[in-house]
Amino acid sequence: MSQVMSELFEREPEQWGLRGDPWVWAAMRTRLGSTCVPPGTGAVQRLLLDTFAEVVGVDLSVDPLPDELQLVHRDEPIRRGESSGFVDALRWQRRLIPLLVSRAGTCRGAGGPEGDGGADGKSAPADPIRERHVGVFEDAWRELAAQCHDTVAPAATYQAWLAHFTMDHLTPLHVLRDVDFDPRHLLPGAARHFRPVGNLKVDMLTLRRPIVRVPRRAFPGAPDLPDGPGNPRSGLARLADFSVISELRVTGTQMSRLGYAEVVGDFQKLSVILDAAEVAYPDQPLPAAFVGVFVNVTKPVFSLDLLRRRLHEAHLRHDVRLAAFDLATGDVSFDPVG
């Protein structure tokens, strides 16, 4: 039996952003009614965006969404005997539309080229902001390879260069460094491996929107965020604010040489963060995740093929990807390794 669009709206979000949002949810559900869910996540997303535009009068396909359209006052609820209120269009673009699209993909169980693989190997929902920022990260990585391949510098310098190239495509306020996700809130099986470290810092993160309310330790809540109150316990809720998270390793720096175990550890770190966030906040979109390995020296030899074999043996998430540059061949690649 074909799935209908109203089924995507059956389970409401646990928390609403603004007063007008529940009304928009109900209005979209009524308008779509018994419309069959179209094939392909791209078509589902287009139908939802068109319906939102009809109901609210805002085109969420515009990216970035202009400031004056991020919060829109609607008078319609007054005619139903309810109070009028604002609609958080930015929240709809960042979270609620991707949530509804993900439900369509999950219910059909369909794979396709429009999404990335998740932990179970199934196709992930379409997420236009995330996918655009993935392209930005990959372009920045190519620029790092083109401009910095013949350098030897401290690791922090390469991290700064990668952030700079990313900012060139977005804005400085889109990019954060060294955000710490508290290991106390990981799943039990993973927490014991990371708790002694005392932190789960991520080298570079790209925000979906340039709204920066993230302290160095991400788990304190930020009550003034436009997408609702912050979670007072865990930084995992903040992952929904990011489109891309990444670690960077350089084989030759002024200080040390890179070991394979260090890279595997970075993959494990991003994997357990995403695993825990997926369980704790199943309705929130996950960021794309990369571990970058920049092979800028030919001796001692660092074999990317050997690294890939070790990563395959580590049983990692399928959606944590390897961004690699190899000075010996000049190749740049982006590979899933789980």
pLDDT tens digits for 293-331? 999 988 888 999 999 999 988 878 888 999 999 999 999
DSSP symbol at 6? G
Region 108-134: mean pLDDT is 52
Please say if the pLDDT value at position 78 is more than 70. no
Distance (Å, rounded) from C-alpha 124 to C-alpha 116? 5
pLDDT tens digits for 163-189? 999 999 999 989 999 888 766 656 666
pLDDT tens digits for 144-163? 999 999 898 988 999 999 99
pLDDT tens digits for 9-20? 998 887 777 888
DSSP symbol at 44? H
pLDDT tens digits for 82-105? 445 788 888 898 889 988 888 885
DSSP per position, 21-79: HHHHHHHHHHHHTTPBPPSSHHHHHHHHHHHHHHHHS--TTSSSPPHHHHEEEE-GGGG
pLDDT tens digits for 222-271? 444 443 444 444 566 667 788 899 999 999 875 667 889 889 989 988 98
Distance (Å, rounded) from C-alpha 246 to C-alpha 29? 37
Q: What is the pLDDT of residue 189?
A: 60
Backbone angles phi, psi at 292, to 5 degrees: -95, 135
Please say if the pLDDT value at position 57 is more than 80. yes
pTM over 0.85: no
Contact predicate 111/218, CB 8 Å? no
Please say if the pLDDT value at position 197 is more than 60. no
DSSP per position, 238-286: GGGGEEEEEEEEESB-SS-B--HHHHHHHHHHHHHHHHHHHHH-TTSPP
Q: Considering the chain, what is the average pLDDT of its residues?
A: 79
pLDDT tens digits for 198-227? 567 899 999 888 776 665 555 444 444 443
